[in-house]
Amino acid sequence: MLQIGILTVGSPAKMRVERRLIDLPVNVHGVDLSPPDHTWLPENCTLELDDITRPWTWNKKFDLIHGRYLTGAFTESEFNDVYKQAFDHLVPGGFFEEMEGDIGFYCDDNTLPEDSVLADKNHKAVCFKASQNLGRPLDATEHMATRLEAAGFINIKVRHFHCRYISLEHKLTNFQIQDYKVPIGAWPKHPLYKEAGRIKHQEVKSGIEGWMSFLLTMFAEPKWSTAEVAELLRKYYKDLDAGYHIYQRGRRVWAQRPFDA
Ligand SMILES: C[S@@+](CC[C@H](N)C(=O)[O-])C[C@H]1O[C@@H](n2cnc3c(N)ncnc32)[C@H](O)[C@@H]1O
């Protein structure tokens, strides 16, 4: 049977949920800096602990290399280097795919009040500037396509997708709507989106303390005190639980290594 080799970078959370991989003719290698918080993996999956900004030592080539939510993980030159190494580790004609989100909160139906911390554009700018000071700007969505082109990829396609859970359904059904959303909270009516929103809400609520504390106390100008961050988090938790119809935006890019490269 044809076996497809997949490398997924920055991967533990993804591999945990991919139980369906076990039924597919694929061998999946996952690589991450830190060990997963679970022990079960599909038997056709291998998880390795390594730093993908260092020279890749796999002596095989992959049919697909995939990454998701790596924004903020790398400097610009590290991103360029990861794409170049991905190019070199793909079979001719193989694909690279990446999905990323930006750092804003959006709302289409005015349920989000203008004075909410979630709608505060100045605060978003402060966080973004802190990520620039860190040397790892949270703007991967803006640069993925041009960096892939610079690494030699062709047939680069970009799709704004606003719900990562729905994007798979999108592919399977050839459903041609481009404007998906990653809902935050169980506000959507559709059961699939409602479940996606519940999970995303949990992810944001559990991550926000670490993200804000790290960026604002160490890299903002001026640096915030822990008391200031605690006050900010109080506003976040209140507004995240307020039932506003909020979502985040995402972007998906895929590209091909030329057959003759
Ligand atoms: C935001 S998480 C995304 C996880 C998963 N891809 C998903 O979409 O659920 C980013 C992951 O990238 C990993 N990571 C960051 N820098 C890395 C590096 N230099 N080498 C390998 N993994 C790295 C982190 O440890 C983390 O697990």
> Which atom belonging to ligand 1 lies closest to the Cα atom of 78?
19
Number of domains in the chain: 1
Residue 26 falls inside a structural domain: no
- Amino acid at residue number 94: G
Residue whose CA is at the smallest distance from ligand 1 atom 1: 69
Residue 40 included in any domain: no
Which H or E run contains 252? strand 250-256
Does residue 1 form part of some domain? Answer: no
Whether residue 190 contacts residue 166, with contact meaning beta carbons closer than 8 Å, is answered with no
**Which pLDDT does position 165 carry in this prediction?**
37
Q: Residue 26: its pLDDT value, please?
A: 83
| Strands 26-32, 45-49: pairing kind | parallel
Whether 34 maps to a domain, the answer reads: no
Which backbone phi and psi does 93 adopt, to 5 degrees? 85, -5
Nearest CA to 148 among 54, 63, 79, 51? Answer: 79
Q: What's the chain's length in residues?
A: 261
| C-alpha to C-alpha distance for 261 and 248, rounded to whole angstroms | 37
Q: Whose CA is nearest to atom 27 of ligand 1?
A: 10
Residue 47 CA to ligand 1 center (angstroms) comes to: 12
**Predicted TM-score of the model (pTM):** 0.87
Q: Cα of 109 to ligand 1 centre, how many Å?
A: 33
The CATH number given to whatever domain includes residue 228 is 3.40.50
Query: In the prediction, which pLDDT does 85 show?
Result: 96
Please give all residues whose beta carbon lies within 6 A of any atom in ligand 1, as ranges. Answer: 10-14, 31-34, 51-53, 68-70, 73
Report the distance separating Cα 6 and Cα 27, nearest Å.
6
Query: Which structural domain, as residue segments, surrounds residue 144?
Result: 51-256
Q: Identify whether 174 is part of a domain.
A: yes
Mean pLDDT by 10 residues, the chain (261 residues): 74 58 79 82 85 94 92 96 96 90 91 97 96 96 87 80 40 35 91 92 96 98 98 98 92 88 84
What is the residue type of 35?
Answer: P
| Residue ID of nearest Cα to ligand 1 atom 19 | 51
Q: Is the dihedral of CA 20, 26, 27, 30 positive or negative?
A: negative
**pLDDT on residue 14:** 55
User: 39 lies in a domain?
Assistant: no
Ligand 1 centroid–CA 39 distance in Å is: 18
Write down the pLDDT at residue 162.
45
> Using CA atoms, how far apart are residues 199 and 1, in angstroms rounded to an integer?
36
Task: Note whether residue 5 is domain-resident.
Answer: no
208, HSE (Cβ side, Cα atoms, 13 Å): 23
